[in-house]
Amino acid sequence: MNSNNNDYWRANIKLTLMLLAVWFMASFVCGILINDWLNQFRLFGFKLGFWFSQQGAILTFVALIFFYVWRMNRLDRQFGVDEEDDISESPDAGDDV
C-alpha cells in the first residue's frame, strides 16, 4: 500500500471509530446502561431513558450513517481514491448486454 493510501486508511479508521463511539453512547449507554438514571428527566411526555431506547437511538443511527457518507465521499476525493464516474466495474461487466 502506498503512503497516500495508508493515510487514507488511517483517516477512515479514525472517522469510523469516532462514529462508533457515538453509536455506542446513544444505544448501549443512554438506551441501556444509564437508562434508569436518565428516566428521572423528561422530554415532553417521555421519560428520557425510555425515549432514547425507543426513539432517540434510532434517530441517532440515521444521522450517523448520513454523516459518514458525507465525510467518506469527501475523504475519497481528498486522497484521490474516489471512483471515476463510469460504472464499468460492476461485477458482470463482461456478460451484461
Partner 1 sequence: MSAQLLTYFFVGATFTLYIGIAIWSRSGSTSEFYVAGGHVSPLANGAATAADWMSAASFLSMAGIIAFEGADGARYLMGWTGGYVLLALLLAPYLRKFAKFTVPDFVGDRYYSHTARLVAVVCVIFISFTYVAGQMRGVGVVFSRFLEVDINSGVIIGMGIVFFYAVLGGMKGITYTQVAQYCVLIFAYLVPAIFVSLTLTNNPLPMFGFGSTMADGSGVYLLDRLDGLTTELGMTAFTSGNKSTIDMFFITAALMAGTAGLPHVIVRFFTVPRVRDARISAGYALVFIALLYTTAPAVAAFARINIINNVDSMVYADAPEWFRKWENTGLIAWADKNGDGKVQYRGGNALSPAAPAYDGRGEHGERRVSNQLSDNDNELYVDRDIIVLAHPEIAGLPNWVIALVAAGGLAAALSTAAGLLLVISTAISHDLLKKTLMPSISERQELLFARISAAVAIGIAGLFGIYPLGFVAQVVAFAFGLAAASFFPVILLGIFWKRMNKEAAIAGMLTGLTFTFAYIVYFKFVSPDSNNAENWLFGISPEGIGTLGMILNFVVSGVVANVTPPPPPEIQEMVENIRIPRAI
Residues 9-48 contacting partner 1, CB under 8 A: 9, 12-13, 16, 19-20, 23, 27-28, 31-33, 35, 39, 43-47
Does 68 bind partner 1 (CB under 8 A)? Our answer is yes
Does 3 bind partner 1 (CB under 8 A)? Our answer is no
Written as nine digits, the cell of 40 is 428521572
* Cα(73)–Cα(62) distance, integer angstroms: 17
Give yes or no for a contact between 34 and 25, defined as CB atoms under 8 angstroms apart. no
Does 5 bind partner 1 (CB under 8 A)? Our answer is yes
- Distance in Å, CB of 77 to partner 1, minimum: 10
* Cα(1)–Cα(7) distance, integer angstroms: 10
What distance lies between CA 71 and its chain's CA centroid? 10
Number of Cβ atoms within 10 Å of the Cβ of 42: 12
Strand partners, 47: 42
By the criterion CB under 8 A, which residues form the site for partner 1? 1, 5, 8-9, 12-13, 16, 19-20, 23, 27-28, 31-33, 35, 39, 43-47, 50-51, 53-55, 57-59, 61-62, 64-66, 68-69, 72-73, 76, 80-84, 87, 89-92, 95-96
